[in-house]
Amino acid sequence: MKQMRKAFQLLFRAAIPLALLPAAAQTVRIDAAAPGQPFPHFWQEVFGSGRAALSLRESYRRNLCTVRDAVGLRYVRFHAIFHDENGVYSEDAHGRPVYNFNQADAIYDGLLRLGVRPYVELSFMPKRLAARAAEHAFWYKPLVAPPKDMQRWEELVERFARHLVERYGIEEVATWYFEVWNEPNIDFWAGEPKFDTYMSLYEASARALKRVNARLRVGGPATAQAAWTGRFLQECGRRGLPADFVSTHVYANDTPRDVFGQDGPVDRRTMVARAVDKVFREVRSSPRPRTPIHWSEFNASYKNETEVTDSAYIGPWLAGTLEAAAGKVDLMAFWTFSDDFEEQGVFREAFYGGFGLISPHGIPKPSFHVFRLLRLLGEERLPADGDGVLATRTKAGRIVVALWNYAEPGEETAARHYTLHGVPDGAALLHRVDRHHGSALERWKQMGRPASPTPAQIAELKAVAESTVPERVTVEGGSLQVAVPGPGLAVIEFGIR
């Protein structure tokens, strides 16, 4: 009878929508006085963006300032500084190289005036330097062919770097990063065999940069799908090449076969964290185990998925990913800081699943608020038991705790009820990002999904997106209860006066 009753209960629960099931409960004990572990904010300083020329636009610079001020952005990485639209390289009637860095100057001058430094990606191939007309499918048609003459590529990199040092000074340019190419293991590089031809490009680039000044920082291989990192460092060692950092990319919807070489139980929730662990182990077992690890691109999707990158899904996904990555990376660059972006052409909808933190109409997305709240976390990590919990302590001694409740894209789950023990008595600020806090996506849907919102609609959507005023709560007896809907992120600052 007991077994029949249990089976009936399981069947009954299976028939209930997940959002209507009883809320999950979790007790979390935090030792606020415990010694902390270093917790650098490796995710907030570098962001990707649309191609180089977009940085000349007013909307790009306005959004860049907004993210800089709210999130702590210090560097931006973009493709195609050598694209022909920037006029960097051409040849005269006799086939001799002609260099023109005026537009590159305008691009970098603009960043530096805003207090943002470039994370320089050396790409793509100028038309007159390309071995053949190998165009990538992107809307702006970058050339991904190897150079027709590797020595001329090396001269281009050297002239470019020397110009930068002369214009901005070595003390400034030595703080930048120079990354050779973008994702040479897939269709962004037409050299064959891909690894060997890429290493020739890397060797020419690295030697050119170091000739200008040994303090210039160079790295690669900037691969997709967490590829080549260990192999790259081994080859650099064999050739005697510098590698001031190793860089790669991953997206949460990459396939296990592409990232790990086999099919397996790796889902969107854990893909990036698993890839981070893979690369960390590869680098640590390489001939250069202390090489800094840069994830110069990552996100929850490389596709345009509205229910992923425009929604509150990003909060618990990102918090869980960063918690798992801590201690295994030196830098992670979210792709991208805004939807000023044209890889698939000019945007067609207000919310189209763009990668950025700010929509094409300047509307902050949930991801913007997620990064803003995660900046509040302290620089020391504290012991805390439980799932979906990150406890930290700031330099000033304030306790800041992040709580999250994961749900798959487009789904809602029951709220998770947390009971925190060991937190400071007194006032605290409770910040939230979920479907009802910091997200304009639902309101846009209610409007009928206007592709080109009117100024009044844009103003309304901005007002909804900015509905993130924190709640002031009181802690008594060292305990606090917080319910977090799924998907949702909550960040609590304790010891508020």
Quote the Cα angle for 276-121-101, to 5°.
170
Q: How are beta strands 24-29 and 217-223 bridged, if at all?
A: unpaired
How many other CB atoms are found less than 10 A from the CB of residue 414?
18
Output phi, psi for 139, to 5 deg: -55, -35
Nearest Cα residue to 485 out of 397, 416, 428? 416
- Amino acid identity, position 314: I
Which of 183, 282, 349, 493 is the catalytic position?
A: 183
Residue 447, C-beta contacts closer than 8 angstroms, at least 6 positions apart: 453, 457, 461
Q: How are beta strands 331-334 and 293-299 bridged, if at all?
A: parallel
Output phi, psi for 251, to 5 deg: -125, 150
Output phi, psi for 223, to 5 deg: -80, 155
- Whether residue 45 lies in the annotated active site: no
- Amino acid identity, position 28: V
* Residue 6, token pair as written in the block: 């249990």
308 close to 409: Cβ distance less than 8 angstroms:
yes
Cα–Cα dist 86/106, whole Å: 10
- Whether residue 179 lies in the annotated active site: no
- Amino acid identity, position 140: Y
Helix (H) / strand (E) element for 232: namely helix 229-239
Which of 154, 203, 297, 305 is the catalytic position?
A: 297
The number of helix segments (H) and strand segments (E) in the chain equals 14, 20
Active site residues: 183, 297
